[in-house]
Chains A and B, each alone.
Chain A
Amino acid sequence: MIIPIRCFTCGRPIAHLWEKYVEMVEEEGKSPKEALDELGIHRYCCRRMFLSHVDLLKESLPYTPPRLGSPR
């Protein structure tokens, strides 16, 4: 769906780091390890949140019909 606000296990806030992480990996060509170390994500519970995340919200955006009764 979209990156969770906090790590499921320890509760560290992570949602503000996702876009930086994507930029580092996709544009600056860093490996996920380097990017995560640079962002200060030490524990493996928080690291897996990034490594295993698939951003699907964007894909479903155009297919969402307007809600019934929403004034438009």
Chain B
Amino acid sequence: MRVSLYDYEKRDVERATFIIEDTSPEFVNTIRRALYTLVPTLRIEEVIIYENDTPMYDEMLAHRLGLIPLKVDDIDQFELPDLCDCGGKGCEKCQVRAELEVEGPKKVYAKDLEFDHPDVEPAFPDMLITEVGEEQRLRLEAIAVPGLGLEHAKWKPVSAVGYKGLPELEIDEEKLKEKKITYECPQGIIKVKDGEIVHIDEDRLPECRMYKEYERATDGAIKLKLRDDAFVFNVETDGSMPLEEVLMRAFDALEHKLKSLRENLEEEVGE
């Protein structure tokens, strides 16, 4: 299995495209699902609302708070509530508390949440939570809990992860000349004029989204096949963790699962 970085962009969130070769769809899908479900992150899970005079309902406010991505320096210092020594009751190893107290008129941002742990902060301080009008008050307490995307999508450290087969061109030059085909792809990757190939941007083929169109517009002379042993793999984080850390943690989680399976099997067979 080989992998190469095709594209990388870092803005508010990190986004990368890899090309993975010599593998199978099943395996790439396993990586995708591991990224979604096996990497722990910290999110607000419980909200205690003392005062809420804003037009936003308590439920909606709690839902919005839950979706805010939280950044932790080292997630390993926390324990999943189910596996924690306290038995899920809640202790400082599996909970972080936050307070919010706002008097209007004011806009409420994620940075107004005051966490009682020095390593925890919202990934994007400028996130708009709600707005408090004149003579209105908002006072609440939030409890953040580490969790897995398996339980609820808010704990996912990534937003969109996807893959497709690596596109490969199949050109029938005789047919192209015979039918005097003229075609230009909207993405500017392929240009054919009167049966002559003017320009093909091989490097940008993994970006191609119009592959069905090629075949239809050129009467089958240019076909784009998607390989099933090489893939274009897309990942984007939601800001709660660096992209590299997300990938490494997903691989570690897969490795851990296989290792425990192996140990278990060895015990069974060894008897």
Question: Which residues of A are interface residues toward B (Cβ below 8 A)?
Answer: 1-7, 10-13, 15-19, 39-40, 42-43, 57-58, 60-64, 66-67, 70-72
Contacts and interface: CB of A to CB of B under 8 A. Distances in A.
Contacts, number: 95
Main SS of chain B's interface residues? loop
A16 B13 CA distance: 12
Contacts of A43: 160
A24 B126 CA distance: 16
A29 to B, nearest CB: 22
Interface residues of B, number: 39
A66 B53 CA distance: 6
Interface stretch (B130-138, B183-191, B245-253, B259-267): B130-138
A5 B133 CA distance: 20
Given A6-B67, A62-B133, A19 B159 contact: no
Question: Which of A6, A16, A58, A66 has the most CB atoms of chain B within a 10 A radius of its CB?
Answer: A16
A62 B51 CA distance: 17
Given A62-B133, A64-B54, A12 B126 contact: no
A40 B12 contact: yes
B127 A15 contact: yes
A57 B126 CA distance: 18
B79 interface: no
Contact of A16 (B67, B126, B137): B126
B102 to A, nearest CB: 13
Contact of A64 (B51, B53, B68, B126): B53
B223 interface: no
A15 B137 CA distance: 22
Contacts of A19: 126, 128
Contacts of A2: 56, 128, 130-131
A3 B123 CA distance: 17
Nearest to B160: A10
Nearest to B162: A10
Contacts of B48: none
